Structure 1
């Protein structure tokens, strides 16, 4: 049985900076049956983009069109593609060599060849060339990463990590060309809703971060983003909200927090109004008790104190969440000595050496985007009760705030 053809689509506008790296990464795929389609969206760089594309000869299929935006270039490629599967590659990003092969293997393993596949990815800082690993599985449970629209609503889908069977375009259509910066998430929502999705918890893509990206340079992006997400909220059923966060009440609360972090003020206010109008879950007290038991069980009931390690954004966010759930935080701690005198919310921040003296009766929660190094540090100091904010978040996901209940 031959391997299905996969079409790797590269839309490009003035791609002299990164296009060659993108094409080379597509050609380096270990999956044997691919075609590469490059669509030049009316570049105005004195032919530099075209020269790069033409240098690959018959290794790629190359098309030129008048400038109309990335959605128009993608749609041209969709019409031209011969493959059974669509895989988008921005001209400033790169695939790891196993991207397509790993995703096709996942489809075969799960027995659903039309499931939509997405994965983790790495971020490459164009200024200093530093790579940051983005492992969404450390932030969200697997059932949420494979919930049809949860990854879209929480902004964890990178469009270039997707592998999409062509039947989904036949079912819901193509990219909305009137949207200049949110055409991707608009389509992912329409396409992934009610569909089987597969999530691969390993990075298959290198996404470059730089200052010329459309989401940073197009003035209308924030307005367009808010309007799109408000439309998402209006279209969801209560069952869908419950599948993501246990209740509509908690769903609107969690979405308002997400919008607030993204500085999407209009969407934030809209979600907060929805939250204020929503019904409190009838089993809220049972959920609170279960969460407190979950915290206690981490130390098998032996820890009598709780410390949040790191007084940064993550630590403060966790403190606020736990305080709302009536969980007592006794200390903060931090490797940064400048924070020892600060603390937060009246809770002192103590040096790790002082915390060491309390280790046998203290649960330490490491609140850091990449907690592994700190966890290893504390393990070497024989701290017996360690966890991370990411793990605690799993218990918090389905528990709404208590402020509406206990005034």
Structure 2
């Protein structure tokens, strides 16, 4: 095999995987990249041999190993131990690769001068029950600089493990998956591995991630406790320089961690972050940055908008309201398509019908707050609102603008 085709090991850990395993193996064997091996590690499945039968049916097309059940970390570590490739690529038995996943990642890697750069990509989520596919496109919300910062994607939970391509020397450098961890073994390793390394993002979906009720993150009771402990560990381990590389200062870093942990239900970690945020040194240029942010928002309408309206009074809209308030900007109203919300005050902000404003539409900056905002943006355009943006378009601005700590509510609601 020519030198430009380094050998890649695709490792598939599986436990009771007869419902999805065949599709995973097929997509691994169908890669357009010409130099791969497929390793399947059966983690002691208890399904009357169904998983074993599927794997064995591939014969010498794959390398198959069985072990006593010990959890996904133990199965991945066995695959790493057995791999012959220069690079490791994880494929969960219930996920899929696009046919060119490995090819595109190796191509991106070989365009650099560092063959040990860590490569990752975006992905799609497939809801098994509904069949709905949700594109996960972090490159629309974050800059390339942020996404290739060695710790930013980890602490912001932006890495799908199956999207990675990892040089084997990284395991020799930091070790493998911690087998004592049940549901956070992946992010524990990414944190140890990514720090001070070069990351490469392929900004397109190369993985299809299934979402279903059998996943450990939904069924294992220790998941939230492990995640909270992991984020406290992140906050303890990161240096002030690493915090500043992500958010400009430890002050802003701890604020972001506070919000993320609150949004994801990690209350112990959120309280820990809030304590550190309140104790951190306030940046000397805080007032200057908040003034710059206000000017940037005003320029979105070329100074014509006199009011700000948020389209969407759900969780996204409430988070956007908070993002603006702590940066000294007033939201004048919510829009919403749900008539039951019209006339209500939501967090002390009135909610109105999208068609309400009549001739004043050109004086309103509308920010759409929805995970999939395209339909709502089109709706506001049809209704004649000229200044319409999405929360995703402005997310990168939040990440450059720290909040006024005096306007940040305490976690218990007081201040």
More divergent stretch after superposition (354-363 vs 63-72) = 354-363
Q: How does 1:202-213 map to 2 (within 5 A)?
A: 202-213=204-215
Instruction: Please tell me whether the aligned partners of residues 333 and 355 of structure 1 are also in contact (alpha carbons under 8 angstroms).
Output: no
Deviation per residue, 1:184-216 (Å, 9 max, x gap): 111100110000001122111111111221122
**Ranges in structure 2 where 5+ consecutive residues have no aligned partner:** 409-414
Partners in 2 of 1:243 and 1:67 — Cα distance?
41
TM-score of the two chains, using structure 2 as the length reference: 0.94
Partners in 2 of 1:83 and 1:241 — Cα distance?
34
DSSP 3-state at the match of 1:110: coil
Q: How does 1:189-338 map to 2 (within 5 A)?
A: 189-338=191-340
Instruction: Please tell me whether the aligned partners of residues 247 and 398 of structure 1 are also in contact (alpha carbons under 8 angstroms).
Output: no
The aligned counterpart of 1:398 is 400
Deviation per residue, 1:153-205 (Å, 9 max, x gap): 11111101111111111111111111111111111001100000011221111
Partners in 1 of 2:276 and 2:315 — Cα distance?
26
Partners in 1 of 2:221 and 2:325 — Cα distance?
38
- In the TM superposition, residue 322 of structure 1 has moved relative to its aligned partner by 1.0
Q: What is the aligned counterpart of 1:371 among 370, 373, 378?
A: 373
- In the TM superposition, residue 55 of structure 1 has moved relative to its aligned partner by 0.7
- In the TM superposition, residue 270 of structure 1 has moved relative to its aligned partner by 1.0
Deviation per residue, 1:34-78 (Å, 9 max, x gap): 110000111111111110001111111101111111111111111
DSSP 3-state at the match of 1:364: strand
- In the TM superposition, residue 351 of structure 1 has moved relative to its aligned partner by 1.7
Partners in 2 of 1:31 and 1:358 — Cα distance?
57
DSSP 3-state at the match of 1:205: strand
Instruction: Please tell me whether the aligned partners of residues 311 and 343 of structure 1 are also in contact (alpha carbons under 8 angstroms).
Output: no
Q: What is the aligned counterpart of 1:385 among 370, 387, 399?
A: 387
DSSP 3-state at the match of 1:225: helix
- In the TM superposition, residue 276 of structure 1 has moved relative to its aligned partner by 1.3
- In the TM superposition, residue 404 of structure 1 has moved relative to its aligned partner by 2.9
**Ranges in structure 1 where 5+ consecutive residues have no aligned partner:** none
Instruction: Please tell me whether the aligned partners of residues 77 and 176 of structure 2 are also in contact (alpha carbons under 8 angstroms).
Output: yes
- Cα 1:356–1:76 change in 2 (3 A) is farther
Count of matched residue positions in the alignment of Structure 1 and Structure 2: 407
Instruction: Please tell me whether the aligned partners of residues 92 and 208 of structure 1 are also in contact (alpha carbons under 8 angstroms).
Output: yes
Instruction: Please tell me whether the aligned partners of residues 326 and 407 of structure 2 are also in contact (alpha carbons under 8 angstroms).
Output: no
Instruction: Please tell me whether the aligned partners of residues 356 and 383 of structure 1 are also in contact (alpha carbons under 8 angstroms).
Output: no
The aligned counterpart of 1:184 is 186
Q: How does 1:39-50 map to 2 (within 5 A)?
A: 39-50=41-52
DSSP 3-state at the match of 1:404: helix
Q: What is the aligned counterpart of 1:341 among 343, 366, 388?
A: 343
TM-score of the two chains, using structure 1 as the length reference: 0.96
The aligned counterpart of 1:109 is 111
Partners in 1 of 2:271 and 2:227 — Cα distance?
14
- In the TM superposition, residue 148 of structure 1 has moved relative to its aligned partner by 0.6
Runs (4 or more) in structure 1 with deviation over 4 Å come to none
More divergent stretch after superposition (6-15 vs 129-138) = 129-138
Deviation per residue, 1:310-331 (Å, 9 max, x gap): 1111111111221222212222
Partners in 1 of 2:223 and 2:145 — Cα distance?
30
- In the TM superposition, residue 381 of structure 1 has moved relative to its aligned partner by 3.7
The aligned counterpart of 2:359 is 357
Deviation per residue, 1:216-243 (Å, 9 max, x gap): 2222222222212211111111010011
Instruction: Please tell me whether the aligned partners of residues 33 and 103 of structure 2 are also in contact (alpha carbons under 8 angstroms).
Output: yes
